[in-house]
Amino acid sequence: MKKSILALVVLAVLAAIVFWFLTAPVRLDESVTAQMDAGDAARGEMVFWTGGCASCHAADGAKGDEKLKLGGGHRLPTPAGIFVAPNISPDPETGIGNWTGADFANAVMKGVSPNGSHFYPAFPYTSYTRMKPEDVADLWAFMKTLPPVSRANEANELALPFKLRRGLGLWKAMFMDSSPVVDLQTDDPAVLRGQYLVEGPGHCGECHTSRTFFGFGGSDRSRWLAGGPNPEGKGVIPNITPDPTALGSWSAADIAGYLKTGFTPEFDSVGGSMVDVQENMAHLKDDDLAAIAAYLKAIPPVPKQ
């Protein structure tokens, strides 16, 4: 009996050790983080709007320059509980004013905090991992120019087992993938630029693609951008593939125009959570909006379920 108990204890200890190593946060190589303090803030502003930083980290309902005050506080209800967006302004006490460029890059591209813990994927680093390091460096340069906001962070409201951040290491190993989502088989620079913007900083798939593993896994690539349950729990997010049941009747110019103006080809206006996204996208250059449209017309059509 004693030998059986001892064997179980040994197995438990070994399992704990294996779990600890398998779930360890993975950081970027120093060759990547070394360039993080050489970014260009002017270019970084475009990355900021593409990435939709203000949609979660500015105050709810913020307009104009208020969108540049990233004090956090937006509450994101999900099946795992409520996530509360943190303060990412340059405030040194309550924001990220004391972060280094390496800290920022590891957070954005690897979902790892400066203290070495995992960030929850409510922060869309599963898309940002596809970003070019130079774009992250430019974004970091822009972030440092924003006004500091003194606002203490609020705790997320999560139930077990979601409170156990360490387990996110296994989640990342299974679902975090920096490779392109769609094999486009094209050398069209507009389409490839659009792919980068949509699959990377624009993180469109985080909302417009359903998830595997009962809604708690990664994006279901077989139904890429074909819509799915609203991550915030109310209604559904639409299919934006070129299927006839989705955007198939829209031209590339229609899509770019919608992102620029907020009006559909039928002159309906943008609504719901897409309002913030469209307002962010309106800051982009016309060439980038056209590239996003070209990509959305190039991906495989997926019918509505």
DSSP output for the chain: -HHHHHHHHHHHHHHHHHHHHHT---PPPHHHHTTTTS--HHHHHHHHHHHTHHHHHSPTT--GGGGG------EEEETTEEEEPPP-SS-TTTSSTT--HHHHHHHHHH-B-TTSPBPPTTS-HHHHTTS-HHHHHHHHHHHTTSPP---PPPPPEE-TTTT-GGGHHHHHHHH---S-SS------HHHHHHHHHHHTTT-THHHHB-BSTTTTSSB-GGGTTSBEE-TTSSSEEPP-SSSTTTTTTS-HHHHHHHHHHSB-TT--B--TTHHHHHHHHTTS-HHHHHHHHHHHHHSPP----
- Give residue 299's pLDDT band: very low, low, confident or very high (50, 70, 90): very high
Last residue of a domain, one of 123, 151, 175: 175
Last residue of a domain, one of 175, 202, 224: 175
pLDDT in the model for residue 157:
95
Residues 251 and 154 in one domain: no
pLDDT in the model for residue 259:
98
Question: How large is the average pLDDT for residues 8-26?
Answer: 64
Q: Long-range pairs for 1-9 at CB < 8 Å and ≥24 separation?
A: none
pLDDT in tens, 23-62: 788 899 999 999 999 999 999 999 999 999 999 999 999 9
Residues 108 and 205 in one domain: no
Domain encompassing residue 276: 189-298
pLDDT at 236 over 60: yes
pLDDT in the model for residue 12:
60
Residues 193 and 157 in one domain: no
Q: Please tell me the total count of domains within the chain.
A: 2
pLDDT in the model for residue 189:
98
State percent of the chain over pLDDT 70. 92
Which amino acid, residue 113? S
Last residue of a domain, one of 152, 175, 198: 175
Residue 4 lies in a domain: no
Residue 267's DSSP bridge partners are none
Residue with token string 């460029």:
101
Residues 55 and 124 in one domain: yes
CB-count burial class (<10 Å; 0-12, 13-18, 19+) for 17: exposed
- Helix 274-281, helix 252-261: angle, nearest 10: 100
Residues 149 and 217 in one domain: no
pLDDT at 16 over 60: no
pLDDT in the model for residue 11:
61
Residues 57 and 143 in one domain: yes
Residues 88 and 200 in one domain: no
d(CA 293, CA 27): 33
d(CA 186, CA 193): 11
pLDDT in tens, 79-112: 889 999 999 999 999 999 999 999 999 999 999 9
Please give the structure tokens belonging to residue 192. 């490839």
Residue 264 lies in a domain: yes
Q: How many angstroms separate the Cα of 166 from the Cα of each of 21, 23, 27, 118, 148?
A: 10, 6, 15, 7, 30
pLDDT in the model for residue 163:
84
Residues 150 and 207 in one domain: no
pLDDT in tens, 58-87: 999 999 999 999 999 999 998 889 999 999
pLDDT in tens, 251-297: 999 999 999 999 999 989 998 889 999 999 999 999 999 999 999 99
pLDDT in tens, 131-162: 999 999 999 999 999 999 999 999 999 988 88
- Give residue 123's pLDDT band: very low, low, confident or very high (50, 70, 90): very high
Question: 16 with 9: CB under 8 angstroms?
Answer: no
